[in-house]
Amino acid sequence: MRDEETGSWWQQVTGEAIQGPLKGQHLRPVFHDELTFGLWKREKPDGRVLRPDESVARAGHYAPANWEERMAKVPVATNVNLDKSLDPRTLVVGVAVNGVSKAYPFDALAKQSPIIDEVGGVPIFLVVGEDKRSVRAYERLVEGRKLEFFVKPNANTLTLIDAETGGEWDFTGRAVGGQMSGQQLKKVAVLNDYWFDWKTYHPNTTTYELGAR
């Protein structure tokens, strides 16, 4: 990205200015989610949605619905030495806590959700939504207790149960039943990325292996 005011060039993934007068400066990251629209609109019925530009839409320039499948076939351009255990285009969910980063291959996550883990000394878990696409991560330390979660079987909407209190939690990280009702889990930022890209910006990343824990 280039800013009009100084002409500096900003790296999108890190928010760091890499060339120009503001070189070395960092933009402050804003917490964001990457969700399916169906899930988002149920959570935020009063929100607003970016509209397509009519002329761009008419010209057919916007990405088609199967865009992600197409991107998966684009050759990878990178100078980074990649760990050969993963295909460069493997979809991973990246987490970075206290300078420690870890990549969770999406397929492993989909199979094992929720994944209970600890990154950078912080107990966390990652969970896939009922749409089988959206991923969120939370800290699992509540009132000094380390919680472990599992998915409630046969629930209509995705519901998590913590093994300590048996309380129920929803996908937004709120306790919706039990003695912790009303509690909100602290969100952990995740990045949906390709393995080669995550590795480029997090050279010391480890990867999660299915069933490692």
Partner 1 sequence: MITNISSTFLTRRVAWITLLVIALISLAIVLLPVWIIQPFRPQSQRGLEASYAMRRWAPLLTVMILAAGLMLVLWLWRGARRWWRKALLVMVLVPLLASTWFARQNHFEWMFNPLAHAAYAKTSEAGFVADSDIVMSVESNGEAVAYPVRLMAYHHVVQDIVGGTPLVATY
- Report the SS3 class of residue 154: coil
The single residue among 5, 24, 37, 69 that binds partner 1, judged by CB under 8 A, is 37
User: Given the rule CB under 8 A, which of 7-15, 87-95, 102-110, 204-212 is the region that contacts partner 1?
Assistant: 7-15
25 binds partner 1 (CB under 8 A): no
Cis peptide before 153 (omega within 30 of 0): no
Q: Measured from the CB of residue 101, what is the shortest distance to partner 1 in angstroms? A: 20
99 binds partner 1 (CB under 8 A): no
56 binds partner 1 (CB under 8 A): yes
The single residue among 16, 20, 159, 201 that binds partner 1, judged by CB under 8 A, is 20
CB atoms within 10 A of CB 193: 20
With tokens 């952990």, the residue in question is 188
Q: Measured from the CB of residue 55, what is the shortest distance to partner 1 in angstroms? A: 10
Q: How far apart are CA 83 and CA 100, in angstroms?
A: 18
Interaction residues for partner 1, span 133-172 (CB under 8 A): 133
Q: How far apart are CA 176 and CA 76, in angstroms?
A: 44
Which residues partner with 61 through β-bridges? none
2 binds partner 1 (CB under 8 A): yes
Cα–Cα distances (Å) from 183 to 9, 72, 118, in that order, read 41, 39, 21
- CA 15 vs. chain centroid, Å, equals 17
Q: Measured from the CB of residue 33, what is the shortest distance to partner 1 in angstroms? A: 5
User: Given the rule CB under 8 A, which of 49-57, 91-99, 148-156, 203-211 is the region that contacts partner 1?
Assistant: 49-57
Q: Measured from the CB of residue 103, what is the shortest distance to partner 1 in angstroms? A: 19
- CA 22 vs. chain centroid, Å, equals 28
With tokens 């889990």, the residue in question is 185
The single residue among 5, 24, 58, 63 that binds partner 1, judged by CB under 8 A, is 63
Q: Measured from the CB of residue 186, what is the shortest distance to partner 1 in angstroms? A: 15
End-to-end CA distance of the chain: 40
Q: How far apart are CA 34 and CA 192, in angstroms?
A: 8
Residue ranges that bind partner 1, judged by CB under 8 A:
1-2, 7, 9, 12, 18-20, 27, 30-38, 40-41, 43-53, 56-57, 61-65, 67-68, 74-75, 77-79, 131, 133
